[in-house]
Structure formats: structure tokens, C-alpha cells
Structure 1
Amino acid sequence: MVRPLADRGVGTAASFIAKSFSLDTVSGSEILDISALGLYICFINGKRVGRDILTPGWTAYDARLSYQTYEIGSLLVPGENRIEIWLGDGWLRSQLMWGQFPIYNTWGSQIAALIELRAKAGDAEPVLVTDASWESGELPIRKSGIYFGETFDARIAPTVSAGTEEISFDAARLVAHETTPVRELDALAVTKAWTDAEGRQVFDFAQNIGGYVAIAVTGAAGATVVIEHAEVLDKDGNFYNVNYRTAEATLTYTLAGQGTEDYRPHFTFQGFRYARITITGDAKLIDIKAIPISSVTEQKATFTSGNPLVNRLFLNTLWSQRGNFIEVPTDCPQRDERLGWTGDAQVFAGTAAYLGDVHNFFQKWVRDLMVDQREDGAVPHVCPDPTRLQPEHYPGFFGSTGWGDAIHEVPWQVYLHYGDTAFLKEVLPNMVRWVDFVWSISDGPIVSPPREWGARGFSFGDWLQPKGPSAKPLPTIGDDAAATIYLHIAAKQVAKIAGIVGDTATEQRLAKMADAVKAAFASEFITASGRLAYDDQTSYALAIVHDLIPADKYEATKGYFKHTIDRADRRIGTGFIGTPALLPALIKIGEWGLASEVFLQEEVPGWLYQVKMGATTIWERWDAIQADGSIYNPQMNSYNHYAYGAVCQWLLESVAGFRPEQNDPAFKTVVFEPVILPELSPVAAEHDSPAGKITAAWTITGEAVRYEIEVPAQSRGVLRLANSYRDAMLDGAPVGQVDVALSPGKHTISFNYTPPQRTAREKSRVNANTP
């Protein structure tokens, strides 16, 4: 590993290292292994190696550093060759974290690179390696940073000005790149452009993305083009990016004055829909386009219905995944954050596995999560965790229930979708440490997290749960109830995982723990009448979905749950951890009509409200833009946060009606169990699963339902029909309701269904004291 002596530290000009070398012959089979501290782009004889972006990627650099392998025979020539590696600050040392306490040099202060070039794969002796004989110099990239953006002066040519030196590096940190590299997706054209009052050009690409702008310009040397980014316009139609906080997210290009000049940034990306261009000097913009980038490059699922807003919601979720699955599953791609928040990933992992191939992506990220896990079992709020090595201003940035649960929920979803039992076994010890940590917070089955940020076991609770009218806010779940529920979820799920991988002792211990938590929850948080202590939507939804309600109180609890929906005018009353459970809970208690009403209502808070307000990705907050167009507090207001898009898992698994069977994962057995919501007819969905393509589509005409499905060739299907469906026929023959075997191929199911109607009395319960 060698560093450029031309480098002057974080926030200064980017550097390169280079070497001329000679080859007697070129076979065309030459292989390059390459990695870096910082970010790199490699050129051989002036041509770029590969097309991957933001290499070597983002990991817990002090323990794990990825390297890439490229076939480079086509770039080499017999005789003299030259290799040049550009290096940028990247995640290694440019700003991470926010506010008054940004962190720099998070995993090191020195950028550096390492290569081995071999005549062919498997050769023991390399033809070329990095050592202190390499040269270095500064680049036209005068400054770059993940949050900052990039400043590029095309008048400056890379020129050798210094040498290199070897630095201490443990090669045991190196791991072969584990996931799909970040790549460019299809470019987006401008759909609308205008000039603002100050003469700056504003461009609308009609889609919020994670990526960057590419421009073509002509003009005189020294003229500059400054590109700023924004997700939204304010209520008056003005360019607005105050919500980026301290992230400058600006590109500055200085022209060389040599014909048409093309530019796109090298070591950064932004989250944006709009770009604002300020030109100083003699320059003209010839072309501009937006380039989305992502680690998830192929779409694996589709969903359409008779409601255009729902269809756009599904597409918004897909775009939020693309823009935030850039090396790690981040919360947002725009402001001074862009961190791998564990809570977001935990609730979204199931949806993510439908929308794209995330097997290796999540494996890689969870391995970093294992590195970042603290000695006592606490799992960090974000991963890779910038605070682990520099905790001074962020003490205790770990240990929240619902967030740390990513350590078991993400591998579980990987198992369900890809059948990866080995990964479950690999992560199991870390899962167990997490469960034991949560129990230890209060030394018992009831978890009472401290309120203070940074205190051991601090909990985010149901993050961003709407409170209702300010005059009389609606009840919200307490941290103790949320944490206790999640301890039960974790203990039960990790016990199941232990059983799958053959660890009987752990299975039995954690199953016993789960039972103890369930009993304690019922004693502490469920009244004699069946009401839950905090009497809020999240409490009921999670308790119902995870079977925490005693049988003798179930009917009464259902009534109280419905009352929380009515009390909120049949709108959402859940935040990050409650929202994925809300509609499944309503379906589970048989309130299909109420689930449809909650899902389809178009006012805030609601999924379709943001679509009506012009969203092209999922918002962080239900009320990110008010009904009058005014912007919510920009201190925490992202317009590209995928967490609430977890509802798409429900759309596919319940509404379209297909899911993997957990006892036969990876869609080797596909369960078809549709929930008919007439307001959504016609519904059609498909998923390109590891076992092959799954399709499902239904229409309802009057009371007649036609359900058409396809079972992959290598799978078996199971049809489960609700008791409320009548006169069911499978491929023209009468059929029962439960677990009907389906052969591979296409099938048509028909049945009659009378949707339940809510009575006037049910709809008027808003002011009732009891259900």
C-alpha cells in the first residue's frame, strides 16, 4: 500500500500515483487486483479500467477493505505502458456526520493505493506491484468530498511532482468485493428548464435520484460552471435545498477552453431532482443530464393496480431503494448524513429483496455490522459507524431496539429470499449477543430504555410517529413497550434461526426467553379489558402481528385497535417501526376494508398524500411538505428515505398474494394467498425470484374474482384462500380453501367474494370511550 507524497491532506487537491512499465508480450488475459484507502479510479494507457463507481466501496475500513479484480488485457500493449491511479478522500476521510461536530479522517488521514498485475489469473508472481518507486502528483480535482461535492479545474493537467512511500497496512483486511459494484443507470433528460430572477438556469429531471449531473460546455479557459442540487421547490416555485444542512453538494467546473468539454464528478454523488447552474465568464452549456447510480441495477419486481397513485408509490419506493442502496443501505443521499441507518434497513429488508437482488449487498453490509457491534452486544445506529473510532461527540451511538434488530432481521430476509442458511450460521453469535444485550438493559423481560441520548440502551421508539392534532395529540407507544415488543421479536426469531442451523441449546434458551417476555408484556402492558397501555396504533399493530395478545383478550383488543384507527380519522398513526405492521395487523384481524381505507386515504399522514404532492421517492416524514406547499423544518426533512416504502412488501405479499414459505425458502415453495381489496382492481404483480419468475394478477367484477398466477418451473405452489371466498375453482375444478398444491406453470383460480361493509356506527366511533 503506497501513498502519494503529493497529497496534502483531507479537503485538499486529489492526488494520483503512477508508474511506467514494460511488457514483452500481451496475452489478453492479464488481471489487475486493486484497492485503495479513499476512492480510486484507475487508467491504463489513458483508458479507464472498468466502469465501477466509488471503488473500492464503503466498509468498516479498519477491519475490512474491498479489492476489485479486472481483466485488462485489452488495455495493454507490448512495450511501454503506463498505469495511473486517481485518489480521492471519499468515505475514508471526507466529512461524515453533521452539525457542530462533523468527523474528518474517520478511518485514516492518508489516501493510498495497492495493486498487483498478473499475466493471467492464478499466477503466483505479479508483473507489477505498487511500491515506493511509483510517482505521484496533484489532479485537476481541487477538492472532493461525499457531502461537499467536487471542484474540478480542467486547466490543470496531472503532472508528476513527487514520489510515493509505502505505509503500514495489514493485508488481512483485504476482502474480494462482495457485492454488485455501484454503476451508472440510464441517464435522465431534462423535462423542464427555466431561468430564475438572478439569471441562473434551473433544470428539472422529473425524478429524485442518488447520482450526479453530467454536463457538456464550451467557452473560454477560466470560465466556471457551478452546479447546485435540490430535491424540491418551495411553495413559490423557487429552488430549495436548505434541508441539505451542512452538505454543500456543489460541483464547480473550470473550463480549459478546448472545444466541447464533458464533465461529471469522480468521487462524490448527490441526492437531487433539480440542478441550478451558475455560469461565470465566457461559457455556454451545451448539454446536461442526470445520471442515477446504484448498487442495485436490476429491477426484480413490478406492481400495478387500478389506482395510479398506488402505482406511483411503488415506483417511488423503487427509486428510493436505488438512490439509497449505494454501497450501503443509507437513510438518504442528499444531506450531511447518508449513513447506513440500521432501523431503516431493518424495516425495509423484505421489500428490498423483492425489488432487487440484494443477497450479496446485505451480506456485505451485515459483515460490517458485525465489526461495528460493541463488545457488550450493542449494535450501532449506523453502519459503517463513523463514531466507533471517534466517539467524542457521539457517545453511545448504539443499542436502540428496532435499530439494532437489523442484526437478525436482515439475515432472516436474506434466508427467506435466497435460502442462505450458511449466512444465518455465520451471524448467529452476533444475533445472540444482541438479544442478551437488550435483556440486560433492564435485567429482565420488561425493557425500560433510558430517555437520554447516548445512555446505554437508549431507544428511538417509533421514530417520526405522527402525533395528530396539536390541540389534543394522539397517544404514541412508549419506549418501554416498543423495546419489550422488540425483545420478544428478537428472542423468538433468533431462537428459530438457531433451530434452523442446528444450535439446539440456543434455540431452547431464547425460546424460553421469548415466552418470558410475552408473559411479562401481557402482565405489564395489557389491561384486564384488553386495552394496551399506550392505546396507540403501533402498540396494537406490533402486538397483533407478533402474537402477543392472550386468546381471552383477543376480541376486545381488536376492538380497541380499530378504535385507534377511527380516532385518527382512519389515518396512519405509526412511525418507522409501527408502519410495516399496521396493514398486516388489520388484515390479520379481518379488517380488510379498514386496511384499504387507511392505505388509500390521500391526506396527511398517508402514503398517497406524498404522491399527490408530487413525490417521486419516499419521504422521511409524513408531513415533509404541508398541504399549502410550505416546507417542514429543514433540520430533518429528507425527500428520499425508503423506510415507509416497506408497505410494498404488503402490496406484493398480501394484495398480489405471493411470498416465500419460510420452511422451504428461496421460493422453492411459493405461497399464494391474495387479499382482495376491490378498490385496487385490477392488480398485477411479478417477481423475478431466485427460483424463476412469479406472477399474480386479479380482477373483481361484482363479486366474481379471477386470480391468475404462475409458479416457477423449479418450484411448487401452495394456494390458501380465505374462508370468505366462496365457490372456488382451480383450473376449472372445484377446490377447497387451505393448502391446495399447485404444480409449476400457469393457473387460473376463480371465486366469489362479498367485501365487508363498515357500518355507520363503526365509522362514528371516533369519540367513543370504549370499542
Structure 2
Amino acid sequence: MDGQTGLGEQSRATAYQWTAEMISPAHDAGDGHEARCVATSFTAKAGGTKILRASAQGLYRVFLNGTRVGEDLLTPGWTNYDDRIAYQSYDVSDLVTEGENRIEIWLGDGWYRSPLMARAVRPGNLWGDRVGAIAEITEGETVLCRTDGSWSAGLIPVTRSGIYYGEDYDARLEGAARDESVEVLPFDTGRLVPQEAPTVRHLAPLEPVESWTDAEGRSLHDFGQNVGGLVRITVKGKPGAEVYVEHSEVLGPDRAFDNRNYRSARGAYRYTLKGEGDETYEPVFSFMGYRFARITVTGDAEVTAVTSFPISSVHEIEGGVTTGEPAVDRLVQNTAWSLLGNFIEVPTDCPQRDERMGWTGDAQVFAGTACWMADVKEFFRKYLRDVMHDQRENGAIPHYSPDATRVAEGHGDWAGSTGWGDVITEMPWQLYLHYGDTDALRECFPAMLKWLDYMWNISGGPVIHPNAEWPVDGFTFGDWLQPTGDNRKPRPTIGEDCAATISHFISVQLTSRIAGILGEEAEAQRLAARAEQIKAAFAHEFIAPSGRLGHNDQTSYALALLHDLVPEEHVPAATEYFRKSVEDAHYLIGTGFIGTPALLPALCKVGLTETAEKVFLNRKVPGWLYQVDQGATTIWERWDAIGPDGTIYEPSMNSYNHYAYGAVCQWLFEDVAGVTPSEDGPGFDKVRLSPRVLPGLGHVEMWHDCRHGRIEAGWRIEEGQVTYRVTLPEGVEAHADDALGGGTHGPGTHEFTFALGG
């Protein structure tokens, strides 16, 4: 049986013609209560190809003649349900038998009606208050079975579930009666679309690397890796005995279990035994973010196996970097794990606390790195459709998508922040560079123009003056979580007007280039002129005659120099101020979510590669390798999430699985390993070779599986000479920079040598 969904079916324009109806258990008790299923029997003949198509309001899982259909998790996934709901398709020919068959569809609250974003939106039922299922089984043009009012309903073992809550499961309810009625719900089948991106699946399991028992008799298990996933247990015991599984990302002092950073999310599950030999369970309608599990057994029962199963919409990592410095290699692995753990249906900020939202700012800064590490083309295309549906009439792009605040009253307008809203220009651009995807550019182009007009209109001119209030029209996050150093003498930070104006310039300039690619010449010229206007206004407003930027902080210099906002005559002086701002901070990072991806590329661009190396390899806080030295296995939200003495930062906003700062890996691929996709030959038809040698790394190797095959590149240092070797698959052409002797190089392996520091 093919558990993979999709089967290459039609787009919305030529959608599958449903005959089924959306049905709901008549006794559905509402969000946060016991779950139910809908079920029926049907007859079929042997032979032929039987296809099941299914979707739901909420989450669903299908069983056919007692066997689970497919391997997908959390179906039908998370979209803006008022716009579209995915349906999945399965070949169930080997599950349908001659004669009578039985189909049962379990239903859970899921994102559809679980409480989401607790600090902003507390109620459940954000997209609707009734869960329901729609499904049909066909053989050719014949409908063998479809959901309608004749189906029955009944309780299932899931007695409560929620995205933040976790799950409660009473195995004694397995096989309960299905003698309740169903109701047909009003539903527009035009909202149903074929699965748009890879579904969530299990990844390779992780066994505990250590297990122990605490003073209260509870067992604790360290899986050695922070993940977004599910803990599977096997247990045996008497009926009614309970196993309670809690999750955490870290341990506190004295190895104490600590999940205070989950805030109001319970993030746990309770399993009640039926008492029939070995019983194996993992949550059906929820997931958690964790490295550790704490298990409490109540009653006569014994847990005989505990396994962690990471889950993700990304099923394989397709790019990596290794070096001579183990901590850097671990940083790259941490980035990949944060990608996997947060790319669950949408690119979330974190998988553990009462948030797990598709924050646009995080996704924007990480989009390039994500494209290097995995095939995220369809995953991002799906996400961008949600972003565009959430775009406000005035052009503001949401802070996160799908946007629960848009469908809930009285929570302010969570949209319109610079840096965050720029996902609508940056993410399609990365899809173009990495996959040659002009369709994404074309689909998003109208939304880009609306976003640019919104930003311009905040203050009616080239310099953007955001609103300081939150959340109101024109608010900006600025350079979120930009570290300020010692509170007695804090380091300078970028001003919100400066950050907003830089972000606007970047998006305007980028959209001008996109317009040219799409043949929108009038728009390309109009936006190019606007970019020049912003550039001139920026120089007037924020650059002194000496070349010093107004806020004199690392983010200002990094972004302005990287994106050519500094007039040519001021570049030498600005470069020196930039160098000094880093040196004065003792090579500690002074950038937040928006500035960090630009910091090292900007230093390299202006010739400060040695400075970039010192920043990157600094092992103090704030720094990338500091996290690794503190035992991080994923990327942290905060540079100081754990102190040098092991103290946990105040947990109200402290995630240990937050991929944004992992965006540094794009620099490792493109600057350090020296392979950059080309705008002139997108999709790796053409690449530019220009490595930056960091002696402190000893050696560097990268690999990436692009649409043409595997690209490999790396350098080594021997007796003051650098040897740079690149292997290109058929279909890839590379242009080497002057340090490599220039020239164009085709498929095959190429070797270059040059003097270190030359």
C-alpha cells in the first residue's frame, strides 16, 4: 500500500468532484472533550484499484478492516481552513476484501479547534466548532463508499487531545460501540485541494542514551537529541493502570526535570491500560518538543520500552557542511535538527510551548538555509499560500501564518512588521534561486506589490517610521532579541526606523529584480527608481558625513553594507566603524533575528574575513559555539538561554528549538565553502565559486543534492597553500572568481590552488 499522499491529482481549478458529504458525530462534545469516530460498512468485489480520498475538519486517522491506512501523521494538516483544506489519497486495494468491509475514521481537534497562541488567542474553535470527516472510496468511476448521513458514530480511546495539551488515551475504549448517529455539516467541497506538500512522517527512531529514576520513583529518559516528535511506549499491566509521560527540553540544576518554558502547554500524555499483554502507544492527534521524558506509573503496570520518534514534513536532509572543528559540525547538525523539528506542516518557531506558530520573520531569515539543507520547494509554496490568504486588505503581511488572530475577534492586528512581512519577497526569491521556480515568483508577485505599498504608506515616504505600540498598524519587531551586553553599559542597537527602512529597501530592490524576471518591465523600472529614492533618503537620514551610521551597531552596518545602502565614498569609513563595533564587543554577536544572517556575510564582503572568523569561532555568549559547548542539540531562541553556570534563563520566553540563528549555515555553504546559486542560472544551472578560507576551521567540505545531482566542494590548507576541490553534476556550470583564476567550468571535478591569504 502506498502511504504517500498526492498521487499527482488535479489542482484546485480542475479539482476532484466529490460526492461525499462532511459528517460529524451527533454527540460531539466540543473542543477539549472525548473524541469520536464515524464508521460504516460497505461491500466490494475482488480485484481492481481502490482509491481512498479523505479529509477532515480537525485531524483524522482512517482504519479499514481494522488496519490503519497510510503512514501519514496529523492529517489533513494545517492550512487556513477557511481558504482550503488538503485531502489525502491512498491506494487501499490490498485492504479492501471481497464482500463486506468496515471503515472507521477517528477525529481529533487538531489545529482546527484547539486553543492556539495562548498569550494572544485563548479560545478554541478558531476555524470552527465541529470536527468532521469527508471520505470516499472509488474503483474507477464507481463510488464504493462515501460519507453521508447513514454512517454511525461512537467513542474512541482518545478521551482528550490538543496541539498544546497533548493527549489522554484509554485503551479500554478500543472497540467501543459505534451506535450513535451523525450529522451532515454544511461544507463547500470546493475548499478541498490535493495534498500540496510532503505529509508529516516518522523519522528514524532514537533510543534513550541514558535512563534513571528520581527520588519520587519516576523514570527519566534522555534521548540525546531535542526533537519535534512523539514518545512511543510499550507497557504491560492490569486494566486501569496509568502511564503519564511528560516532556522537557532541558534539565535544571541537579538534573531536575524542567519544562517551565512550555508555559501553559501541558505537552504530555496519559495512557490507561486495557490489560491485555504488551500494549504499544504513541499520541494520535498531538506532538511535542522535547529531549527528555519523565514517566510516572500509577497502578500495577511496567513500561518495557521507551522510544523517541522525531516527526517532520521534511523526510531527508539534502545538504551539509563538515569542518575540522567538531563544534561547528555540531552546530550544522543542530540547525538540521531544528529544521526537522519545526517543519511540521508549517515552518514554526518552536515545537514545544503554547505557540508553535508559523512566524514569518523566522521563516524569512532561514529560507535560504532551509533550501540548502532540504527540498522544501513544495513545503514553502504551501506556506506562502497561507501567508497570502492572511495578507490584510491594506497589504500588511501577518506576523505568522496560518493566522489565528485573523479569525478571532479582539486580539489586535498581528500583521505588518518589517522583516517579518518581507517573507513574501525573500522566500519566493530563494525558491527561484534554488529550484528555478518562476511559478512561485508569479504567484506571489501581486502580494509583494501590496506589501511594498503598505510599508511605504506607514509614514508616506522613503524613510519608514514604525508604530511603537504592539499590536497595532505599522508595528515592527525591529531586530528581535538583539543582545545589548552588560546592562550597566549596554551596546548600541539598531533603531526601529533604521531597521524598517533597510528592510523596505531590500524588498523593493528584490521585487524590482523579480519584476524583470517576470517580464513586468514597467514595475521593474518603477521599483528600481523607488529603491534609489530609499537609498538616498537612508544616507541622508542615517549616515553621517564621516561615514558613521547613526546607531553605530552591528546590525546597521551588516545590513547596510551587505545590501549596498552605503554610498561608495563612505564604504571605507563605514567598514572601519563596522570593524570597531565588532572588536569593541570582543567579537561577541550584537545582532538579533534580522541582523544575524547578514553579520558574517557582510564582514566577508568588505574584506573583514578574519574578523568574521573570530566572531564565528567565539565560544562565549552570545555566540553560536557557546550553545554547542552548553550541550545544545538544536538552535536556541535566545543567545543566553542557559548561562555559563547552567542557570536557565527566565522561562517565559525561552525555547531550545528555534531555528532562526541557524541561518548562519547559509554563510557556511555560500561564503566559506564558496558555492552560491546564480540568479542568471537559477536552480543550480549556474553557480559562483568564491570560497572564504578560515584557517581556524582547518578544512571545510560541503555537499548539496540539487535537482541536477550532488554538488560537493571543499578546501584544505597545506604549508600555506589552499587546495579547493569542486565536483559538479551534469547540468551545472560554475564561474570561478578571480582568486581561483576565473573561468567557466562544467560537470566533473575541478581543483584550484592558491596561497593562503592571497
TM-score (normalizing by structure 2) = 0.96
Gaps of 5+ in 1: 723-727, 729-735, 756-771
1:657 match: 674
Is 2:32 aligned against 1:11? yes
Q: Determine which of 728, 732, 748 is the counterpart of 1:745.
A: 748
Give the C-alpha shift of residue 697 in structure 1: 1.5
Distance in 2 (CA, whole Å) between partners of 1:315 and 1:100 is 33
The alignment partner of 1:80 has SS state of: strand
Give the C-alpha shift of residue 748 in structure 1: 1.2
Q: Determine which of 43, 54, 58 is the counterpart of 1:34.
A: 54
Give the C-alpha shift of residue 510 in structure 1: 1.3
1:470 match: 487
Is 2:377 aligned against 1:337? no
The alignment partner of 2:255 has SS state of: coil
Contact 2:121 2:405 in 1 (8 A): no
2:106 match: 86
1:763 match: none
- Aligned residue type for 1:706: T
Contact 2:60 2:105 in 1 (8 A): yes
Give the C-alpha shift of residue 711 in structure 1: 1.0
Contact 1:683 1:697 in 2 (8 A): yes
The alignment partner of 2:226 has SS state of: strand
Is 2:161 aligned against 1:102? no
Distance in 2 (CA, whole Å) between partners of 1:594 and 1:643 is 22
The alignment partner of 1:236 has SS state of: helix
1:371 match: 389
1:116 match: 136
Is 2:711 aligned against 1:694? yes
1:685 match: 702
- Aligned residue type for 2:598: A
Q: 1:652 to 1:431 in 2, by over 3 A?
A: same
2:19 match: none
- Aligned residue type for 1:49: V
The 5 A counterparts of 1:635-654 are 635-654=652-671
Contact 1:6 1:138 in 2 (8 A): no
The alignment partner of 1:214 has SS state of: strand
Give the C-alpha shift of residue 235 in structure 1: 2.5
The alignment partner of 2:179 has SS state of: strand
Give the C-alpha shift of residue 28 in structure 1: 4.2
Contact 1:138 1:161 in 2 (8 A): no
The alignment partner of 2:643 has SS state of: coil
Give the C-alpha shift of residue 33 in structure 1: 1.0
Please, which moves more after superposition, 508-517 or 539-548? 508-517
Contact 2:726 2:749 in 1 (8 A): yes
Distance in 2 (CA, whole Å) between partners of 1:446 and 1:324 is 35
Contact 1:7 1:138 in 2 (8 A): no
1:633 match: 650
Give the C-alpha shift of residue 505 in structure 1: 1.7
Q: Per-residue displacement from partner, 1:723-748 (whole Å, max 9, x unpaired)?
A: xxxxx6xxxxxxx3x3x110201111
Give the C-alpha shift of residue 163 in structure 1: 1.1
1:725 match: none
Contact 2:555 2:591 in 1 (8 A): yes
1:766 match: none
Is 2:752 aligned against 1:704? no
TM-score (normalizing by structure 1) = 0.95
Contact 2:406 2:413 in 1 (8 A): no
1:311 match: 329
Q: Determine which of 297, 313, 319 is the counterpart of 1:295.
A: 313
The alignment partner of 2:389 has SS state of: helix
- Aligned residue type for 1:693: R
Contact 1:92 1:108 in 2 (8 A): yes
The 5 A counterparts of 1:142-161 are 142-157=159-174, 158-161=176-179
Give the C-alpha shift of residue 200 in structure 1: 0.7
Contact 2:673 2:702 in 1 (8 A): yes
Is 2:530 aligned against 1:513? yes
Contact 1:414 1:420 in 2 (8 A): yes
The alignment partner of 1:383 has SS state of: coil
Give the C-alpha shift of residue 702 in structure 1: 2.7
Distance in 2 (CA, whole Å) between partners of 1:420 and 1:574 is 31
Q: Determine which of 460, 480, 483 is the counterpart of 1:443.
A: 460
Q: Per-residue displacement from partner, 1:221-275 (whole Å, max 9, x unpaired)?
A: 0100000000000132111000000000011000001111001110000000000
Give the C-alpha shift of residue 197 in structure 1: 1.6
Contact 2:121 2:408 in 1 (8 A): no
The 5 A counterparts of 1:260-299 are 260-299=278-317
Q: Determine which of 241, 248, 251 is the counterpart of 2:259.
A: 241
Q: Per-residue displacement from partner, 1:527-550 (whole Å, max 9, x unpaired)?
A: 010010111000000000100000
The alignment partner of 2:73 has SS state of: coil
2:511 match: 494
Distance in 2 (CA, whole Å) between partners of 1:505 and 1:236 is 65
Please, which moves more after superposition, 271-280 or 234-243? 234-243
The two structures, once aligned, show a CA RMSD in angstroms of: 1.0
Q: 1:100 to 1:386 in 2, by over 3 A?
A: closer
Q: Per-residue displacement from partner, 1:440-481 (whole Å, max 9, x unpaired)?
A: 100110101011002211000000000011110000001000
Contact 2:261 2:654 in 1 (8 A): yes
Is 2:603 aligned against 1:596? no
Distance in 2 (CA, whole Å) between partners of 1:303 and 1:458 is 37
Q: Percent identity?
A: 53
The alignment partner of 1:198 has SS state of: coil
2:16 match: none
Q: Per-residue displacement from partner, 1:380-410 (whole Å, max 9, x unpaired)?
A: 0010000001041x20200000000001111
Contact 1:103 1:386 in 2 (8 A): no
The alignment partner of 2:39 has SS state of: strand
Give the C-alpha shift of residue 101 in structure 1: 4.6
- Aligned residue type for 1:96: L
2:276 match: 258
Distance in 2 (CA, whole Å) between partners of 1:430 and 1:256 is 54
Contact 2:42 2:144 in 1 (8 A): no
- Aligned residue type for 1:749: F
How many positions carry a matched residue from both structures?
A: 736
The alignment partner of 1:290 has SS state of: strand
The 5 A counterparts of 1:330-479 are 330-392=348-410, 394-479=411-496
Instruction: Tell me which stretches of 4 or more aligned residues in structure 1 moved more than 6 Å.
Output: none
Give the C-alpha shift of residue 153 in structure 1: 0.5
Distance in 2 (CA, whole Å) between partners of 1:525 and 1:263 is 59
The alignment partner of 1:75 has SS state of: coil
Distance in 2 (CA, whole Å) between partners of 1:642 and 1:110 is 34
The alignment partner of 2:405 has SS state of: coil
1:70 match: 90
Is 2:598 aligned against 1:577? no
Contact 1:209 1:272 in 2 (8 A): yes
1:220 match: 238
1:55 match: 75
Contact 1:99 1:246 in 2 (8 A): no
Distance in 1 (CA, whole Å) between partners of 2:689 and 2:532 is 30
Q: Per-residue displacement from partner, 1:543-562 (whole Å, max 9, x unpaired)?
A: 00100000111110001111
Q: 1:316 to 1:220 in 2, by over 3 A?
A: same
Give the C-alpha shift of residue 100 in structure 1: 7.6
2:7 match: none
Q: 1:262 to 1:59 in 2, by over 3 A?
A: same
Q: Per-residue displacement from partner, 1:550-576 (whole Å, max 9, x unpaired)?
A: 011111000111111011111100000
The alignment partner of 2:173 has SS state of: coil
The 5 A counterparts of 1:666-677 are 666-677=683-694
Give the C-alpha shift of residue 29 in structure 1: 1.1
- Aligned residue type for 2:29: R
Q: Per-residue displacement from partner, 1:47-94 (whole Å, max 9, x unpaired)?
A: 111100000000000111000111000000010001100000000001
